[in-house]
Amino acid sequence: MLQCASSPLPSSLTVKPRLLRNLLLPILLLLLTLGFGYGGYLISEGAGTRALIETGERQLELHARGVESEISRYTYLPSLLELESSVTRLLLDSTPAHRERVNQYLEGLNRRAGSRAVYLLDTSGRVLATSNWQDPDSYLGEDLSFRAYFQDAVQGRPGRFYGIGSTTGEPGYYLAHGLVHGGRIVGVAVVKVKMEALEERWEKARLQAFVSDENGIIILSSDPTLRLKAVRPLSDQDKERLARSLQYYWWALNEWQPLSRQRLADGVEAISFPPQSPEGDGHRPVSYLMQSRQLNDTPWNFTLLTPVQDLRREAMIHGMLAALGFAVLAFLLIAWNERRKVIATRLAAREALEQANNALERRIAERTSDLRASNQHLREQIRERRQAEDTLRKAQDRLVQAGKLAVIGQMSTSIAHELNQPLAALRTLSGNTVRFLARGRLDVASSNLEAINDMVDRMGRITASLRAFARRADDHGQARLGQAVDAALMVLQVRLKQVPVNLHRDYPDARLAIDQTRLEQILVNLIANALDAMSSQEDRQLWLEGRTEGTDRYRLVVRDNGPGIPPDTRRHLFEPFFTTKPGELGLGLGLTLSASLATAAGGNLSVAYPEAGGTAFELYLPLLPDMEPPA
């Protein structure tokens, strides 16, 4: 028998964890997938940002140097005027002739240097000569003492200044130098440079960059909208100071307002603009990596903006790939696990089947050996029964034989009488015949001889039937009922003469499965008993009535109108040696033997007590198909 090895928990309790697991697993997997995706996104973003910072730093360095070289190109130019004697002359003695000369000189110098303007101020800040002396918006005579570059230069410091020209309203980079003569500063030389070339270069290189000055105002930018915006909040005082200095003319100096700013490292910031801003694509904030560095020899800062949109997109793709990878891996793991479970279940089932098979084979073997033992036992019993049967049959045969001999012995007186009478007659007849022959009376002798012949025949029949009765027979013979009745009556002929009966024969002839002699013997016994019972009465009736029953049985009733059998005798009838007959008349074997013979042939013998009186013996015997037509 298979035993289930599962836990003893009731099924209602075991269902719950499984249900929980079935519900939790997908949620867990979903969370893990999202987690992996987000992790992938973060890692990719981090790595991308680092790479972007490195590239940005190189770009920053490259372009900052470009700006520095552009600025330093003109650094020497104002100091050059010190070498020019006409300049010094003008400063010392400002005659129109000197002025004109210097004007022309400055015009030539400006043209050659490619600057916007070169001009000369006296120590009070008034323009003495300028390269644009012929232009309508010439600086000549203008008072620029308020300019910071002048104030620096007149005190011997290099004047560096970005501003919007008060005359032209044009932005430019101003470089000023105090001109020394005789150990004192006698004037200031100023060069105004335009730096749009830098912006154009950035634009061409699709670079987003700007330069902010010492006030935090963007003075150069690849994006024109950023120009003159403050990169850091300006206090009101600063605003006022700057407005008064007219450095940025009348510009509003609005603050540059990114949506968010986050410091990532030294000089590196993440910055994003609102979607509506010109930088945005209209839907999402635009983010940049902002890297700055101070430009050498100036208080200015160069800032590079690197868009991180591509980086984000890439990180998103990497995140999705990570999530997808995890999902595929999880799916493969689950599939593998399921397959493993299926294989395990199959193996368990096969093992269980094998065990069941083995158990079955064991049981079959046990049963077989049991069966063999009981078979052997049965065989021995059969053998014993056969032996007993054999012994019984032999005893029965011997009994039959004894019974027959007893009947013969019982009848010996009658037989002797029956044989002696014809013998005496034969003696007389044979003597007479001899005498008649001697007298030549052949006719009488011939009739005597015929009578002798008849008598010898009769005596022969008597001895033949006795011999047949005494003979041993087998159990599987066959008999003709009519012949058997005739033979029995022949045997009892003598008795019938002494006790005449009214015989009623009412039976169809039949072929029965019993030895002929045995059937005769049964009939002799039954008829003899009837004769005995009726011997002391006047009216003697004997019925022999036969009928076939079904297809294979024959019933013969031997009935008399004798005195019947008293009740206390009835139960002893078939016991051997039970007899009510006096002296040598009865042996008590007749019914016993007859019943045995009938049983041995497959039939039986029983007794009935008709209401009308008398006794009826019923003999049942197997019927054989009648092959020959009835005689």
Report the interface residues with ligand ADP, using CB under 6 A: 525, 529-530, 533, 560, 562, 565, 569, 573, 578-581, 586-592, 615
Rounded to an integer, what is the distance from CA 459 to the centroid of its chain? 101
**Residues with Cβ within 8 Å of residue 417, at least 6 apart in sequence:** 494
Alpha helices (H) along 73-170: 77-80, 85-92, 96-113, 148-154
Q: Which is nearer to ligand ADP, 226 or 522 (CB)?
A: 522
Give the integer Cα–Cα distance in Å for 234 and 228: 13
Angle, CA of 477, 483 and 486, to the nearest 5°: 135
Angle, CA of 319, 320 and 326, to the nearest 5°: 90
Closest distance of CB 485 from ligand ADP, Å: 17
Give the integer Cα–Cα distance in Å for 130 and 90: 12
Q: Which is nearer to ligand ADP, 66 or 588 (CB)?
A: 588
Task: Please spell the DSSP secondary structure of 547-571, one letter per residue.
Answer: EEETTTEEEEEEEE-S----HHHHT
Q: Which is nearer to ligand ADP, 154 or 533 (CB)?
A: 533
Closest distance of CB 529 from ligand ADP, Å: 3
Which run of H or E residues covers position 574? none
Token code pair at residue 224:
């024109």
Q: Which is nearer to ligand ADP, 121 or 605 (CB)?
A: 605
Angle, CA of 429, 433 and 435, to the nearest 5°: 120
Give the integer Cα–Cα distance in Å for 232 and 571: 144
CB atoms within 10 A of CB 129: 30
**Nearest Cα to 507, choosing from 562, 561, 555, 560?**
555
Q: What single-letter amino acid sits at 329?
A: L
Q: By the 8 A CB rule, do 60 and 293 touch?
A: yes
Token code pair at residue 566:
């008293």
Q: By the 8 A CB rule, do 437 and 449 touch?
A: no
Q: Which is nearer to ligand ADP, 268 or 573 (CB)?
A: 573
Q: Which is nearer to ligand ADP, 84 or 560 (CB)?
A: 560
Token code pair at residue 164:
């919007």
Token code pair at residue 460:
């022969």
Token code pair at residue 34:
């999202």
Closest distance of CB 467 from ligand ADP, Å: 22
Closest distance of CB 497 from ligand ADP, Å: 19
Q: Which is nearer to ligand ADP, 72 or 579 (CB)?
A: 579
Q: Which is nearer to ligand ADP, 49 or 410 (CB)?
A: 410
Which run of H or E residues covers position 500? none
Give the integer Cα–Cα distance in Å for 224 and 209: 11
Q: Which is nearer to ligand ADP, 301 or 525 (CB)?
A: 525
Give the integer Cα–Cα distance in Å for 299 and 212: 9
Q: What single-letter amino acid sits at 272?
A: S
Q: How far is CA 36 from CA 27, 39, 49, 326, 631, in A?
A: 14, 5, 19, 7, 115
Q: What single-letter amino acid sits at 557?
A: V
Closest distance of CB 598 from ligand ADP, Å: 14
Q: Which is nearer to ligand ADP, 307 or 576 (CB)?
A: 576
**Nearest Cα to 507, choosing from 519, 495, 494?**
519
Closest distance of CB 545 from ligand ADP, Å: 15
**Nearest Cα to 120, choosing from 161, 112, 109?**
109
Q: Which is nearer to ligand ADP, 286 or 557 (CB)?
A: 557
Name the residue with the smallest CB distance to ligand ADP: 590
Q: How far is CA 568 from CA 53, 294, 571, in A?
A: 138, 153, 7
Rg (CA), the chain: 79
Closest distance of CB 608 from ligand ADP, Å: 11
Q: Which is nearer to ligand ADP, 324 or 466 (CB)?
A: 466
Q: Which is nearer to ligand ADP, 193 or 530 (CB)?
A: 530
Closest distance of CB 567 from ligand ADP, Å: 12
**Residues with Cβ within 8 Å of residue 313, at least 6 apart in sequence:** none
Give the integer Cα–Cα distance in Å for 391 and 397: 10
Closest distance of CB 407 from ligand ADP, Å: 9
Closest distance of CB 575 from ligand ADP, Å: 8
Closest distance of CB 465 from ligand ADP, Å: 19
Q: Which is nearer to ligand ADP, 291 or 615 (CB)?
A: 615
Give the integer Cα–Cα distance in Å for 379 and 385: 10
Closest distance of CB 394 from ligand ADP, Å: 22
Closest distance of CB 569 from ligand ADP, Å: 6
Three-state DSSP state, 246: coil
Q: Which is nearer to ligand ADP, 29 or 565 (CB)?
A: 565
Closest distance of CB 556 from ligand ADP, Å: 15
Closest distance of CB 612 from ligand ADP, Å: 14
Rounded to an integer, what is the distance from CA 306 to the centroid of its chain? 57
Closest distance of CB 584 from ligand ADP, Å: 10
Q: Which is nearer to ligand ADP, 171 or 562 (CB)?
A: 562
